[in-house]
Chains A and B, each alone.
Chain A
Amino acid sequence: MSRVVLASTLAIALPVAAGAQTAPSDPAPSSLLPASPIARVEVTPAGGRFTAGDSGQLTVRAVDAAGRPVPGALVRYTLRGAGFEGSVDSTGKVVASSVGKLPLAVVALVPGTRPVIRQVDLEFVPAAAARVDIRTPLGTLVAGQQLRVEAAPYSRAGDRATEPVRWTSSAPNVVRVTGDNLLTAVAPGRATLTAGAGAARATVAVQVVPAGGRATLTASAATVRQGDVVRFTAAYVDRAGRAVAGVTPSFTFSPGDGRLDPDGRFVGYRPGDYQVTASYGPGAQASAVVRVAERGVRRPVEVVGRLARTQFPTSEVWIHPNGRVAYLGTHGGGDRMYALDISNPAAPRVVDSLVVNTRLVNDIITTADGNWLVLTREGAADRKNGIVIADVRDPLHPKQVADFTDGVTGGVHSVYLSETAKHGRHVFLTNDGTGAVDVVNLDDPTKPRRVGEFRTARPDAARYVHDLDIVDGLLYASYWNDGLVILDVGNGVKGGTPAKPVLVSQYKYDLDSLYREVEEVSSAGYIRGTHTAWRQRGGGKYVFIADEVFRNGNVKGAKDASASRAYGTLQVIDVSDIERPRAVAWYTPDNGGVHNVWVAGDTLYMGAYDAGFQVLDVSGELRGDLKAQGRVVAALNPADMEGFVKNAAFTWGVVVNPKDGLAYVNDFNNGLWVVRVLPRRGERVLQ
C-alpha cells in the first residue's frame, strides 16, 4: 500500500463514531501471580449501606480457608467509579456525600501473591425525611367525594426520602385516607389531615361541606391546538346555589392521549375531542369538551448556503453583533477559529482565521459592542489551556490580545459574558480541572484578572460544570451530575455579585432513571449529565436544559456511524419561582441527542447530534411531551459527501442571526449550513 493510500485511509478512518470496539470478554489469565493464602475478604457492614450526608466505617477481615485471619495481609480500598457520590479513605472511613451507589474494590493482598478483590457497591441512601410536601391542593371537600392525594417526603439535603407516606385524619368520621392514598370525605365537618413520613409531618386543614350541590366546569378555551394548555376551572355550588370557594375537584379526561394536572391544566397530544370531568362526588360532576385541532406548525426548510470544512471537525458557531460576520471553531486537533463573511448568506466564505495554542475551540462569544471576542482552549501544546481574548473591532480579522491560563490549565469548555454598568464586564468560564465556575474581570480585555469563583458543595474532584448562560444577573449553570444550578451574579435576589456568586436554587433529577435505556443497550458507566441551559429572554419563564448522553462503548460489531449515537432529553424548567424551579415539559429526539440550543422568540432551534438540526415551537405555556403534541416545526439532516465525515450528521448547534432571520447551523462533521425555515404554503416570508 502506498503512503498516499495509507494517508487517505487515516483521514477517512476518522468518523466521529468510529471508536474501538468492545470485546465480549477478556481471556487474560488471572494466574500471573501465585495464589494468595487469603480465601475470602469479609466486609462489615455487609450491606454497605450508608446515609447520604453521613460518614461511617468499613471493617475488613482477610481470612484463609479455615476462617483464620491471614497475618500480614494488606487491605486497600479503591473506588471503581468516578466517586461522584462520596469517598473512602485508606482506613475504610466512608463519607457518603450524596445519594447513589459507590462501587468499591476492597483489596486484600499478601505481597507477591495474587490480590483478592471483593467488589462492594456501597449504597448511599437518603437521610430520614425532614419534611413532607403535600402536592394535592386540599382545602374544602364535598361529603361523598373521593380524591387521590399525593405527598412526597424529602430529606434535609433535599433528596427524595424513602419512607412511605401515611395519612391520618384528626376526625375520621369527617375525612379519612386509606393506605392507597384515596381520600374520602365522609361527612360535613372539619378535620386536620396529616401526611407523615418517618418523623416528618405535614398537615392541612380541610373542611367537608354537605353534598347535594352541583359542579360547574369551565375551560379557558373550547377549541385549541395540540400542545396548547387549557385551564379548566371547576367550582362547587351548594344546594342554595351559592358557590363554595376552594373546593378541590378530582379531574379525569378521555381519551387519555394528553396530560391533565391536578391544577386543572390540560394539554391534548392528538387532534380530536377530549372530555374533561371534574368531580365533587356522586351527583356533583361536570364535564366539558375541548376540541383539539392540529397544531399545524410543521414547515419546510431550505439550505441557503453552505461552507464545508474538511480539515477538522467544526464546533461552535457565533455571529458578530453586526450580523455580517460569523466565527466558527474547530475541533479534533483544530487550532483555529475561522472568521467568515456571511454578508451573502448564500455564499459564506472564510476571510481570515485566528490560530491559537489549542486543539479544540469549544466555545466563542463576543461582547455586546462587538469589539472583543473570547474563545475557549482545550488541548494546548504546552497543556496550559484557558481562554483567549481577541480584538474584533475589525470583525473579519480577529487579533489575539491576551490569554488567561491562571488556574484553568486543565481547560475551559464554555464561557459566557456579563456586562453591566454596575459591575463591569466579566467572563464566566467553566474550569475543566476543578469543576468550578471561575470569574474573570475583562474591564480591560488585555489584562484579564481572576476575581471570583463558585463550586457546588460536593467533593472537589468529582465536580463538573459544562455550560453557562446569564440573563438579568442570574447565571444558569449546567452542572452535569448536579443538574441545573442558578446563581445570583449581580441580580441581587441573593446579594450576589460577579466576584461573589451566590446560590439561588438548584434543580436535580435522576439521570440514571431518565436514561435507563442507554445503560441497557450498553452498560453502566455511560456518559450522562446536564449539558446545556438556555434561559428564555424577554420575560419568559422557562429555562431549557439538555443532557449529553453517549453509550458506554460502541455497538458490538459495528463501525463508523453505526457504532454509536447520542441520546438526550430537553427539559423545560419553569423558573417563575426562581427559588423553586420545576420541570414542566420535555422533548426527546428520535435517534439523536440534544446538544446546543438557541431560542429566538417562540422558536427553539437545536443541534441534535445524530438527529441533525431541529426546530421546535415553544410558544405559549409548555406542559408535557412536546414531541407528542406536534411542536416539531422543522428538521434537516445536514450530511453530505463533502463532509469531514461523509454523509453522517452530527449537529453541534445553531445561532439565529437577527439581521437575516436565518439559522446558522454548525455540524461537527459537515461544516456550516445556512438554513431558512420556510413559511407554510400560502404564508409570506418574514425577514
Chain B
Amino acid sequence: MRAAAVALLAAAPLAAQPAPTASPTAAPGVYTAWVGSEGDDRVSVVRFDAAAGAARVERSVRVGDNPTELAGPHGLGLSPDARYVFVSTAHGAPFGGLLKLTARGDTVAGRVTLGAFPATLQVSPDGAYVWVANFNLHGDMVPSSVSVVYAPEMIEVARVRTCTMPHGSRLSADGRHHYSACMMDDLLVDIDAQRFQIARHLVLTPGAERGVAGAPAARAAAAGGHAGHDMSGHAVESAPAGAGAPATCTPTWAQPSPDGRVVWVACSKTNTIVEVDAARWAVTRRLPAGEGVYNLAVTRDGRTLVATNKRARSVSVFDVASGRETARIPTLRRVPSGVAVTPDDRYAFVTVEGVGSEPGTVEIVALATGRRVAAVDVGPQAGGIDVRLGAP
C-alpha cells in the first residue's frame, strides 16, 4: 500500500530521526522547499527542521487539468518575495506551460502556454520575469527556445530561439545575463536579459572551444561535424564504450557565479564542470566531476559549488577556489536531478527522480560536513526544486 511504502522509505535511511516538535513558525533553522514531481503531477511542500534533522512533506497538490494525462511539472522556482511558486509543466499537447501558484495556498494565480517541453526555470532577481528553457525532447531534433514570461501578468513577452535542447538555465545575480546550455549543440548561450536577444555563445566541444558573438547557427553541432542526435537519455546514459574520449560535452546546466565573473557548465558526457570566464568568454578551468554531472547550484558566497551526478547516483560538493571535490554523497535512489542551496548557504536540497514506480526523494545535504542529514519521499520523478528559509 502506498502510504506504508512512503513511510517506510522515508524512515529507512534516517531511522533515528525524531519527529519534529518545534513550532513551525517560530523555530529557527526551519526551511521550506517546493518540489515538482513529473511522474505524478504533484507539487509537494517539504519542511526541513535542521535542529531535529527531520524533513517531512507538509502537503502536496496536483497540477494539470487533464487527470488522465501527465502535465509533467518539471522546473520550479520561487519569486524573490516567496509569495509565488512558478512551475513549468513539460508535457502538454504538444505545448507545455508555466503555472503560477500561491506559495501559501497552492492556488493557481496564473498560467501561460509556452513551447515544447518547458523545463528549467528561474525567476529574475527583480521578480519581473520568469525564464523558462523549452527543452523540446520530442521527436524532431530542431532548435528550440527560451521563453520570457512577465510574471505579474503571466504573459510570455519573448521567445528567444537558441539551439537544440536548451536546458539548465540560470540568470546572473544582476539579472543581466541569462545562460543556458544546449545539450545537443554543445553550446553555452548568453542571452542579453534586458533586450531578450542572444548576445553571444560559446562552443563547448572538447578541443574546439571558442566564444562567438551573436546567435548560433541553426544546427551548430551539425555544422561542426558533431553528431547531436544521441540524446543520451537525458544524461542518464554514458558515452559509448571504446570510442575514446567523448566527442561532446553534452552540457546540461549553466550556473553563473554570484559575482558574475565565471559560468560553470556541467558537461554530462565528459563528466567535467567547465569554468568559463564571463568577461573573456573563454574556458579557463575544467573540474573533474561525477559521472553524468547534471545540475548545478552555488552558494551565495560563491565558495561552494554543488552538482548532482545523474549516472553516478551521487551529489558532489566542490570548493570553488581550489576546484577540488570535497565531498561526494551517494543518493538513496537512482537519478539525482535538481539541486537548490538554502539562502543561508548551509544546506543543499537535492531531488532524486527514482526509476519507474519508485517515489522521488528530497535529500538534504549539510554543506559544512558534506553529509546527508535528512531525506523524505515525494512523488516520482522529482526534479525542480527551490527552497527558502522559514516554515511553510
Chain A, range 404-446, C-beta contacts under 8 Å to B: 407-411, 413, 431-436
CB of A184 closer than 8 Å to a CB of B: no
Q: Inside 8 A of B353's CB, which chain A residues have their CB?
A: 381
Complex: how many Å from CA A434 to CA B10? 39
Asked if B116 CB lies within 8 Å of chain A CBs, one says: yes
How many of A's residues come within 8 Å of B, CB to CB?
99
Which of A11-19, A364-372, A489-497 forms contacts with chain B?
A11-19
Taken residue by residue from 355 to 392, chain B's Cβ proximity to chain A (1 for < 8 Å, 0 otherwise) reads as: 11100000000000000000000011100000000000
B100 near A: Cβ within 8 Å? yes
For A79, give its contact among B6, B93, B156 (CB under 8 Å). B156
- Determine whether the beta carbon of B110 is less than 8 Å from that of A433: no
User: B105 near A384 (CB under 8 angstroms)?
Assistant: no
Q: Give complex CA distance A548, B67 in Å.
A: 11
Task: Please tell me if the beta carbons of A410 and B70 are within 8 angstroms of each other in the complex.
Answer: no
CB-based nearest B residue for A312: B357
Q: Does A499 contact B (CB under 8 A)?
A: no
Q: For residues 369 through 398 of chain A, which have their beta carbon under 8 Å from a beta carbon of chain B?
A: 378-379, 381-384
Which A residues lie within 8 Å of B62 (CB)?
14, 18-20
A76 closest partner in B (C-beta): B158
Measured between alpha carbons, how far is A239 from B283 in the docked complex, in Å?
101
Q: How far is the CA of A74 from the CA of B99 in the complex (A)?
A: 26
Nearest-CB distance from A63 to chain B (Å)?
Answer: 19
Asked if A310 CB lies within 8 Å of chain B CBs, one says: yes
Within 8 A of B (CB), among A210-237: none
Q: In this assembly, does A82 line the interface, its C-beta being within 8 Å of a C-beta of chain B?
A: yes
B66 at the binding interface (Cβ < 8 Å):
yes
A461-B355 contact, Cβ under 8 Å, with A333-B39, A379-B38, A433-B116: no
Across the interface, do A382 and B234 meet the contact criterion of CB distance under 8 Å? Answer: yes
| A551 touches B (CB below 8 Å) | yes
Which of B134-142, B294-302, B317-325, B340-348 lies at the interface with chain A? B134-142
Contacts of B234 in A (CB 8 A): 382-384
* Contact (Cβ within 8 A) B107 A3: no
A330 to B357, CA, bound (A): 10
By the criterion CB–CB under 8 Å, are B381 and A82 in contact? no
Pick the contact of A23 from B61, B102, B115, B151 — CB < 8 Å? B102
Give a binary string over B56-74; 1 marks a CB under 8 Å from any A CB, 0 the rest.
1101111111111110100
A676 CB to nearest B CB, Å: 26
B237 to chain A, nearest CB (A): 7
Number of B interface residues, CB 8 Å?
88
The yes or no answer to A136 lying at the interface (CB within 8 A) is no
- Closest residue on chain A to residue B64 by CB atoms: A19
Query: Which residues of the partner chain B approach A29 to less than 8 Å between Cβ atoms?
Result: 152
Q: Does A461 lie within 8 Å of B57, measured CB to CB? A: no
Across the interface, do A21 and B106 meet the contact criterion of CB distance under 8 Å?
yes
B129-175 contacts to A (CB < 8 Å): 137-140, 150-159
Most buried by B among A333, A529, A550: A333
When the two chains form their complex, are residues A20 and B381 in contact, meaning their CB atoms are under 8 A apart? no
Is A270 engaged at the interface, CB distance under 8 Å to the other chain?
no
- Asked whether B109 is an interface residue with its Cβ less than 8 Å from the other chain, the reply is yes
Known interface pairs A359-B40, A381-B355. Does A23 touch B7 (Cβ–Cβ under 8 Å)? Answer: no
- B151: chain A residues at CB < 8 Å are 28, 32
**Chain B neighbourhood of A312, CB < 8 A:** 357
Residues B139 and A409 in contact, CB atoms below 8 Å apart: yes
Q: Which residues of B lie under 8 Å from residue A434 when comparing CB positions? A: 94, 138-140
Find B1's partner among A310, A431, A527, A529 (CB 8 Å cutoff): A310
| Given A6-B57, A76-B196, A551-B65, A383 and B139 contact (CB-CB distance below 8 Å) | no
Contact yes or no, A359 B158, CB < 8 A: no
Q: Is the CB of B140 within 8 A of A407?
A: yes
B152 and A32 contact, CB distance less than 8 A: yes
> Are the C-beta atoms of A10 and B6 separated by less than 8 Å?
yes
Check if B10 sits within 8 Å of A3, measured CB to CB: yes
Question: Across the interface, do A360 and B70 meet the contact criterion of CB distance under 8 Å?
Answer: yes
Kindly list chain B residues whose C-beta atoms are within 8 Å of the C-beta of A6. 7, 56-57
Interfacial residues of chain B within 52-109, with CB under 8 A of chain A in the complex: 56-57, 59-70, 72, 83-84, 91, 93-95, 99-102, 105-109
Q: Are B3 and A461 in contact (CB under 8 A)?
A: no
Judge whether B212 is part of the interface by a CB distance below 8 angstroms: no
Contact segment of A110-118, A192-200, A631-639: A110-118
Please tell me if the beta carbons of A461 and B6 are within 8 angstroms of each other in the complex. Answer: no
Beyond A78-B157, A117-B157, A410-B138, is A480–B93 a contact (Cβ under 8 Å)? Answer: yes
B253 at the interface (CB under 8 A from A): no
- Contacts of A1-41 to chain B: CB distance below 8 A: 1-4, 6-14, 16-23, 26, 28-30, 32-33
Chain B residues contacting A82 (CB-CB under 8 Å) are 95, 113
Let me know if B140 and A433 touch, CB within 8 A: yes
Is B19 a contact partner of A2 (Cβ separation < 8 A)? yes
Taking a contact as CB atoms under 8 Å apart, the answer to whether A409 and B231 are in contact is yes
Within 8 Å CB of A553, what residues of B? 65, 108
Complex CA–CA separation, A480 to B38 (angstroms): 24
If the complex has contacts A14-B62, A333-B380, A381-B335, are A80 and B112 also in contact, measured as CB distance less than 8 A?
A: yes
In this complex, what residue of B is CB-closest to A21? B107
Residues 220-257 of chain B, each 1 if its beta carbon lies under 8 Å from chain A, else 0: 00000000000101101100000000000000000000
A550 touches B67 (CB 8 A): yes
Docked CA distance A82–B113 (Å): 6
Which B residue sits closest to A19, measured CB to CB?
B62
Q: Is the CB of A173 closer than 8 A to any CB of chain B?
A: no
Residues of B within 8 A of A330 (CB): 357
Measured CB to CB, the closest approach of chain A to B138, in angstroms, equals: 2
Query: In chain B, what residue has the closest Cβ to A563?
Result: B62
Take A4-B3, A359-B380 as given contacts and tell me if A115 and B157 are in contact as well, using a CB distance cutoff of 8 Å.
yes
- Asked if A268 is at the interface of the complex by the 8 Å CB criterion, the answer is no
User: When the two chains form their complex, are residues A335 and B357 in contact, meaning their CB atoms are under 8 A apart?
Assistant: yes
B195 interfacial by beta-carbon distance below 8 Å: yes
* Chain A hits for B278, CB < 8 A: none
B287 interface residue (CB < 8 Å to A): no
Asked if residues A334 and B357 are in contact (CB atoms below 8 Å), the reply is yes
In the bound assembly, the distance between CA atoms of A529 and B380 in angstroms comes to 28
Q: Is A172 on the interface with B (CB-CB < 8 A)? A: no
| Interface check B329, CB cutoff 8 A | no
The verdict on A650 contacting chain B, using a C-beta distance below 8 Å, is yes
Chain B residue with Cβ nearest A384: B233
Please judge, given known A-B contacts A6-B57, A20-B63, A527-B65, whether A359 and B357 are in contact too, CB under 8 Å.
yes
B-facing mask of A603-623, CB < 8 A → 1, else 0? 000000000000000000000
- Cα A642 to Cα B132 with chains together (Å): 41
B26 at the interface (CB under 8 A from A): no
Determine the chain A residues whose CB is within 8 A of the CB of B93 once the complex forms: 432, 464, 480, 527, 529
The 8 Å CB contact of B110, one of A16, A26, A360, is: A26
Residues of B close to A331: CB separation below 8 A: 68
Complex alpha-carbon distance, A525 and B355, angstroms: 33
State whether the Cβ of B16 lies closer than 8 Å to any Cβ in chain A. no
Cβ-defined contact, A433 with B139, below 8 A: yes
Specify which chain B residues have a CB less than 8 angstroms from the CB of A18 in the assembled complex.
Answer: 61-62
A527 vs B159: C-alpha distance when bound (angstroms): 24
Q: Is A462 an interface position by the 8 A CB rule?
A: yes
B23 touches A (CB below 8 Å):
no
Q: Mark A287-327, 1 if CB is under 8 A from B, else 0.
A: 00000000000000000000000111001000000000000
A-B contact sample (20 more), CB < 8 A, given A19-B62, A82-B113, A381-B381: A3-B10, A10-B2, A20-B43, A20-B62, A26-B100, A28-B83, A117-B150, A310-B1, A310-B2, A330-B357, A333-B39, A335-B357, A336-B356, A355-B356, A381-B356, A382-B233, A409-B137, A433-B139, A564-B65, A595-B68
**Sampled A-B contacts (28; CB under 8 Å):** A1-B56, A2-B19, A3-B56, A6-B7, A6-B56, A7-B6, A7-B10, A12-B3, A20-B99, A26-B100, A26-B110, A33-B126, A107-B150, A115-B150, A117-B155, A119-B155, A333-B357, A359-B380, A379-B72, A381-B381, A383-B233, A409-B139, A411-B91, A460-B140, A463-B94, A529-B93, A551-B65, A564-B65
Complex A-B, nearest 9 residue pairs according to Cβ-Cβ distance, in ascending order: A433-B138, A335-B356, A382-B233, A410-B138, A111-B194, A433-B139, A7-B6, A23-B107, A7-B7
